[in-house]
Structure 1
Amino acid sequence: MDPQHSFINSPDNHRIPLVSWAPQHPCAVMVIAHGMAEHAARYQALAHWLNEHGVAVVAIQHRGHGPNCSDAELGHYADYQGWQKVVDDLAQIVSHARKQYPALPLTLFGHSMGSFIAQAFAQQYGDQIDNLILCATNRIDKTKLRVSLGLVRAIRAIRGKRHHSRLIDRMTFGAFNKAFTPNRTTHDWLSRDPQQVDRYLKDPLCGFSCTTGLWSDFIGGMLKINPAIWRKDLPVHLLAGDQDPVGEMGNGFSRHVADLRAAGVYVASERLFPGARHELVNETNADEVWAYILNCTPGSTAHA
């Protein structure tokens, strides 16, 4: 099934791009929120496989990402209230998917940055989804995040909200790659599959630097996430690789699961994949990861 490209207009006149893949007779729907410095089309292989198992897929292109984003806007949410805007954009895409498939169970899948946008969505719009999958996520370490936010805001105050900081890049993606020295590439931390890493590096819509404005919005948004006020009957599934530096090699991920349970969240399932790095859906054991995602998706053929 070829992808369908369309747009939804937001209240501030932003055109939200979305990419959809639909089987002939869908029995479930999944909305995908992608990660930082990547784009929705990278989930096509997963979407095709999910289609084969009855799952329609709708993927959002977040602000500052994707082929419809201008060079000037790449890596930048918005000049004002960027975090709330990306969360509200996701709410519009979920509403659109609901209208397209009104009788089907709807799962929200968020990867990495998208997992935190999905958590903010669950906090504000949790009654609009039936199921939540958080992939390659991590704990909300408020102490560290506040320190990071102070540094980002200091750089933003001096250089402006559209500045691309090499220091921030070194402290984030650069630091993640150090765990895999000696390095073959700058992004070995993404996957054990060298072909997937090389595809990422060759993709002009991947691996770009994000602005101080985006980092400030993102970290500030993470600090507002409070699982204690989420819907207590919303099933939440979590998965990560135990060699993912974003999830602190499994330690931060496990802490996040424990924190969610302590907050009364319904953690329906959790899984750490041994040896896997950050991009689980593009890992050497992708078939195993995809099967887990399918099993976490109500209404799919895995639940027939």
Structure 2
Amino acid sequence: MYQEHYHLKSSHPDKHPLDYYSWTADHPKAIIHYVHGMSESAIRYQPMGEWFQSQGITFIAHDQVGHGPYAKAHDSLGYFGPYNMKLILVEDLYRVICDVKSVNPNVPYFLIGHSMGSFISRLFLQKYSHTVSGAILSGSADHSFVIDLGKLLSPLLTKLSRPQATNFFLHRFLFGGLFTQFKRQPSERDLRILKYWYPQPEKVDYPLDGFPFTNDGFWHLIRLVDSATKKGWAKTIDPHLPLYFMNGANDFLLGPSKKLSGTYQELKQAHFQDVIFQVYEKRGHELFLYDNEEVVYHDILTWISQHSLPKQTKSNNYSLRK
């Protein structure tokens, strides 16, 4: 197994590089492009990339602005900047897809958007759904009053403190359930995250996985989720595009919104043809990591294999699986 590392130019005005990794299969039967969530990096998914590579599928993952080694080296983890980041994140995703497709023009191309990445993927599909063969959205959610409240209060994030300041309070608020919901011994990763639970007077060498967001990062995140879940979010997406929503029943981060009942109704009313909603019992927010993740990988592999075949006329497929 091997990986390749590529460098593009981001659409970000500050001339950020756009790095992506490829676990390239020989004569791939499909391509998966993984869009990571907040406070993590592309290289975190190396084991997932190697697994799909072994199955004859090329696996792509890119580091988004405010994430990855470049952001760490420039002391900007969790910081996006005073720009239209919704547009920049979408356009960066599109740039990577175009680069990969230039070498693989006829290979079916699938997105997997996880958590924050699922909302970026929703916005991407609003503009570019014609460029992919299907999309899997994990750790995604319905619009809720919490989003509306966050949007109402979010101006305080950058007015009462510096945009670049790390917001440990919101970090603990979002991820506190990781340590209170389940009765288990903390893992090595849990202990690593707890190390960055509160401000420290000395210089902090944040990890690439589990670092706290800045005020600016949370401000952009709230607006990103709001835009990706508000009523009518799917109206410009091709209704024939296959969609696969998957969440964990024990997802502490999403709470009740993980049921996606609002998303189900909206897509059904918009006459989407091929949508699956799946809930994994005894799994949390991170479906692709930790214990027994190959069960999820196999489900993805089956779904991609079914949708890599020549398109056929079929009746609406609205499946609710557990």
Counterparts of residues 128-147 of structure 1 (less than 5 Å)? 128-141=131-144, 143-147=145-149
Query: Who is 1:281 aligned against?
Result: 288
CA deviations on 1:96-129 (whole Å, 9 max, x unpaired) are 1211210100001111111111111011211111
Rg comparison, structure with higher value: 2
Query: Who is 2:319 aligned against?
Result: none
Query: Who is 2:19 aligned against?
Result: 17
Q: Is the 8 A contact 2:239 2:270 kept in 1?
A: no
Shift of 1:172: 1.2
Q: Is the 8 A contact 1:135 1:239 kept in 2?
A: yes
Shift of 1:236: 0.5
Shift of 1:205: 0.8
Counterparts of residues 1-304 of structure 1 (less than 5 Å)? 1-11=1-11, 12=13, 13-69=15-71, 70-141=73-144, 143-175=145-177, 177-180=179-182, 184-185=185-186, 194=187, 204-225=207-228, 226-248=233-255, 251-298=258-305
The count of aligned residue pairs is 293
Higher helix share: 1
Amino acid at match of 2:289: N
CA deviations on 1:234-270 (whole Å, 9 max, x unpaired) are 1111111100123326753344334433343344322
Change in Cα spacing, 1:218 to 1:91, as seen in structure 2 (3 Å) is: same
Amino acid at match of 1:10: S
Q: Is the 8 A contact 2:240 2:274 kept in 1?
A: no
Shift of 1:302: 10
Other structure's SS at 1:272 match: strand
Structure 2 gaps of 5+ residues are 196-205, 311-322
**How far apart, in 2, do the equivalents of 1:53 and 1:95 lie?**
23
Task: Output the TM-score relative to the length of structure 1.
Answer: 0.87
Q: Is the 8 A contact 2:78 2:214 kept in 1?
A: yes
Other structure's SS at 1:56 match: strand
CA deviations on 1:10-48 (whole Å, 9 max, x unpaired) are 343221010110112211111110111111111111111
**How far apart, in 2, do the equivalents of 1:204 and 1:229 lie?**
38
Amino acid at match of 1:43: Y
Change in Cα spacing, 1:183 to 1:165, as seen in structure 2 (3 Å) is: farther
**How far apart, in 2, do the equivalents of 1:167 and 1:200 lie?**
14
**Which moved further from structure 2: 241-250 or 23-32?**
241-250
Shift of 1:300: 8.5
Task: Output the TM-score relative to the length of structure 2.
Answer: 0.83
